[in-house]
Amino acid sequence: MRREIHYWWSPRLNKDMPIVVYGHYGFAVLMFPTAAADFLEYERFEMINALAPLINEGKMKVYSIDSINNESWLNNHMHPYDKGMRHQLFNEYVIEEVVPFIQDNCKGLVPIITTGASVGALHGANNFFRRPDIFSGTIAMSGIYDLQYYTRGYFDDRVFFNSPVHYLPGWNDEYMLNKMREGKIVIASGQGPYEDPGASLHLSNILNQKGIQHWLDLWGHDMRHDWPTWRQMLPYFLGKF
């Protein structure tokens, strides 16, 4: 498997940001890490090995980036307002730096599917729903899509516009809604220990109200909030794309 690591200085985040690329051809999969993890997390937890058949067949190229959750929502030493400001810069980094890098690396305007597990599911879904004109779909696994869960109840405009269960119900931009309807959307969760399938059901109900087709898939009560679950889920869903 082709594996490349790239770094560049992000003018938005004011720091070096790495990205790892797996594969040689296909549509792009952009991975958001869990919690405060780094760009190599999916490799360490054997997710890349689980995806290897699809990658090696040239069906997709996988891109994994660093999180900055420990500089924003998961940093208990920051004021919530500052957390939101930092997260907005991360959004800009993804759109203005990572997406152009992917398109250049793929030598064209390939479809980009976002994905992540746990906190990464929130980021993957949020990036797709905010910019369905750029991303072609999302596979969100074991996520909670109410950002107040991470802000401990703090709420302002930046929380609102990064919390899908808050901004999606009132979204009336038909162009963007139609772009969402064209996308491939998977909302998945286990029902075992530490999972919250109700969060996926809540998001699914909102999407249904907006006429946005998607695949809600709740796995069994033996599927816990952990890597063995996600290593089964992601290859299965990507294999259907």
Q: What is the pLDDT of residues 20-69, one digit of tens each?
A: 999 999 999 999 999 888 999 999 999 999 999 999 999 999 999 999 99
Domains and CATH numbers, the chain: 3-240 (3.40.50.1820)
pLDDT range class, residue 211, cuts 50, 70, 90: very high
DSSP string of 138-188?
EEEES----THHHHTT---HHHHTT-HHHHSTT---HHHHHHHHHSEEEEE
Instruction: Give the least confident one: 4-8, 74-78, 181-185.
Output: 74-78
| Residue at 241: amino acid letter | F
Q: What pLDDT score was predicted for residue 184?
A: 97
Mean pLDDT, the chain, as a whole number?
96
Burial bucket for residue 223 (CB in 10 Å: 0-12, 13-18, 19+):
buried
* CA 231 and chain centroid, separation: 15
> Which residue carries 């070096």 as its tokens?
16
Q: What is the pLDDT of residues 90-145, one digit of tens each?
A: 999 999 999 999 999 999 999 999 999 999 999 999 999 999 999 999 999 999 99
Residues 93 and 66: beta-carbon distance below 8 Å: no
Report the percentage of the chain scoring pLDDT > 90: 95
Q: What pLDDT score was predicted for residue 152?
A: 86
Whether the model pTM is above 0.75:
yes
pLDDT range class, residue 153, cuts 50, 70, 90: confident
Please tell me which of 32-41, 68-77, 219-228 the model is most confident about, judged by mean pLDDT: 219-228
Q: What pLDDT score was predicted for residue 27?
A: 97
**Residue 205, pLDDT above cutoff 90:** yes
**Residue 8, pLDDT above cutoff 90:** yes
Q: What is the pLDDT of residues 129-144, one digit of tens each?
A: 999 999 999 999 999 9
Segment holding 207, helix H or strand E: helix 197-209
Mean pLDDT of 188-195: 98
